[in-house]
Amino acid sequence: MLKTLENFLEWGGVKKDVTCLILSGIALLASLLDVELFHINPAWIAIILCGVPIILEAVIGLVTRFDIKADVLVSLALIASIIIGEIFAAGEVAFIMQLGALLEDLTVALRVLPGETIPVDGIILSGQTSVDQAVMTGESIPVDKGAGDSVSSGTVNQFGSFDMRATKVGDDSSIQRMIRLVQSVDAGKAKIVGIADRWATWIVVIALSAAGLTWLISGEIIRAVTILVVFCPCALVLATPTAIMAAIGNATKHGFLVREGDALERLASVTKITFDKTGTLTYGTPRVTAVKSFSKEWTDEELFRLTACAEQRSEHPLGKAIVESYKNQYSDELPALARFQMIPGQGVSAEAGEYEILAGNPELLQADQITLPEDMRAAAAAYLENGSTVTYVAVSKTAVGFIALSDTLRQDAPDTAERIRDTGAAPVLLTGDNEKAAGYMAGQLGIREIHANCLPEDKLRYIEEFQNSGEMVCMIGDGINDAPALKKACVGIAMGGIGSDIAVDAADIALINDKISELPHLLLLAKRMMLTIKCNLTFSMTLNFIAIVLAITGVLNPVVGALVHNAGSVIVIVNSAFLLGWKKKDHN
């Protein structure tokens, strides 16, 4: 039976609501003009079309969820109005409440432009488009969509713009279920949502008590009816989830997939941001950073070309990095090799034209009785201290120079670290590199707190120590070795592009495009979300208490009370909706 009622309420959507409102409006106008239909007040049409759905929602909520926070008070007010013979007032209140509900739905609608990531699961209200669903279904061809079609979060709008209504966010959305982030110990509703729900429950108790006392003292049941209408805590209940939904939508557009609003709530209080280095602050792949020739016969460029030639058949990551770096810098073709030999643990031996080339570590050269000059060793030591890897090169039994490779900083890493400090959080480096290499990297980023030589358990220990001392810690990493720390931190953010599946599963938030430059935006967005929620809560509570005082004194009647009630809900939704496109203005 309840399922049948729910299906009836969902039937038709916006078109059904608009039709019912038009018919109800005509009926109320007829009632106002004292027109009767078969000796029946036409306002009954508004009560049936607009009031009955409200009462049914209240019944379903009470029976299935014991929800007494929203439609119950309005239902009591409608029934009381009918009992005392205020048929027109009952019909008008029902009409205004349903009109307000429709406005709320339309206010929550999102507009998605071409090229934007769809922020939440939803239904297209208007517009034609094509959506790239590869992230969800693997389809390589965009799928045409129109009004009434469903769209999923994380997919990309290709061509047309459209308006949509959100149906699922956070845990329920398709992309969140797909990546299956691990459930954390304190998962569930955001704490502030629970607070708002508890307040709403108490407001219902207060409203019923106030209505009863007002009726007993004043003898005017119309005042009690008005109290029930204005004190329905819809604005309070909407204050938090609408802001969280909008913030999650904003974060999605900036490349973040957020499991639930609780993660953003915790992120707003973070005081330390701990970074893994490799793959997070760096690109995670070695690149040639220096080519040094110590022979008058070979220039740096010629040495680079000769080494790339020798390494072109290599399967080793360093050999591949040398070849790729050369090809990225120069356009000429590398000559074919007459001979190639991979020497595990040491390097490569190759023959190109008249030259015999050795490229590898000192042991490779020593095995062929080749001595490294002291000036070459000294120059290489400077790169080794900064965390670089050095490949020594010998040509025709003579050491001629070396190539230094390192995992280079992401281009936007220094600016990101500075902007994170501007948000009030302190960046911290947790890395497995030695102290000198870690210090060099941290110096480029302006990070003052460094913890080097970290094993996975060390990262976990440092985060635990920070949190035990009262710090709120956000961990950002990408590898399997970061997973325990991501799980332990108040908020874990995993690099979704290059990150391991285990790291992503352990995190609260995934950065899909690996653009760490968006991290400061996420931190500021979380703070803005909390400010919006607090403003919404303050506004809705203030509005409720002012309205009840006016209702008790008889200043408000049920019709005006319904208008005030719905205006509060719409204002809260509009204020939350500003978060969808929010971005901190750059005053520079």
| Between 397 and 208, the higher pLDDT residue | 397
At 104-127, the pLDDT tens digits run: 565 556 767 777 767 667 788 778
Q: Is 75 helix (H, G, I), strand (E, B) or coil?
A: helix
At 207-250, the pLDDT tens digits run: 778 878 888 888 888 888 777 777 666 677 677 777 888 888 88
| Between 97 and 364, the higher pLDDT residue | 364
The pair of three-digit structure tokens given for residue 48, joined into one six-digit string: 């049936």
| Between 21 and 530, the higher pLDDT residue | 530
In the predicted structure, residue 11 carries a pLDDT above the cut 60: no
pLDDT for position 165? 73
Instruction: State the pLDDT confidence band at 422, using cuts at 50, 70 and 90.
Output: very high
For residues 306 and 140, what is the distance between their CA atoms, to the nearest angstrom? 41
Enumerate long-range contacts of 511-514, CB under 8 Å, 24 or more apart: 511/255, 511/256, 512/154, 512/255, 512/256, 512/257, 513/255
In the predicted structure, residue 341 carries a pLDDT above the cut 80: yes
Residue 181 and residue 259 in contact, taking contact as beta carbons nearer than 8 Å: yes
Of 298, 228, 247, which is closest to residue 75 (Cα–Cα)?
228
Q: Is the dihedral of CA 437, 439, 444, 449 positive or negative?
A: positive
In the predicted structure, residue 426 carries a pLDDT above the cut 90: yes
In the predicted structure, residue 404 carries a pLDDT above the cut 80: yes
Helix (H) / strand (E) containing 271: none
Query: Which residue in the list 71, 121, 276, 482 is annotated as catalytic?
Result: 276
pTM of the model: 0.68
| Between 580 and 84, the higher pLDDT residue | 580
At 446-497, the pLDDT tens digits run: 999 999 888 888 888 999 999 999 999 999 988 777 888 888 899 999 887 6
Q: Which residues are bridge partners to 166 per DSSP?
A: 122
Residue 87 and residue 41 in contact, taking contact as beta carbons nearer than 8 Å: yes
Q: CA torsion 533→537→540→543, rounded to 10°? A: -130
Instruction: State the pLDDT confidence band at 527, using cuts at 50, 70 and 90.
Output: very high
pLDDT for position 173? 46
pLDDT for position 551? 84
At 279-332, the pLDDT tens digits run: 788 887 788 999 999 998 999 999 999 999 999 998 887 889 999 999 999 988
In the predicted structure, residue 393 carries a pLDDT above the cut 80: yes
Q: pLDDT averaged over the chain?
A: 80
Least confident piece of the model among 326-335, 380-389, 559-568: 559-568
Instruction: State the pLDDT confidence band at 81, using cuts at 50, 70 and 90.
Output: confident
Q: Residue range 406-423: average pLDDT?
A: 90
Instruction: State the pLDDT confidence band at 346, using cuts at 50, 70 and 90.
Output: confident
Instruction: State the pLDDT confidence band at 9, using cuts at 50, 70 and 90.
Output: very low
Clarify whether 276 is annotated catalytic.
yes
For residues 339 and 113, what is the distance between their CA atoms, to the nearest angstrom? 56
Instruction: State the pLDDT confidence band at 161, using cuts at 50, 70 and 90.
Output: confident
In the predicted structure, residue 53 carries a pLDDT above the cut 50: yes
At 169-217, the pLDDT tens digits run: 444 444 444 333 333 323 333 555 556 556 666 767 777 788 788 888 8
Q: Residue range 87-112: average pLDDT?
A: 70
pLDDT for position 176? 43
Q: How far is CA 540 from the centre of its chain?
A: 26
Place of tokens 């599963």: 505
Residue 378 and residue 384 in contact, taking contact as beta carbons nearer than 8 Å: no
Place of tokens 């050999």: 319
Q: Residue range 61-76: average pLDDT?
A: 64
pLDDT for position 292? 95
In the predicted structure, residue 333 carries a pLDDT above the cut 70: yes
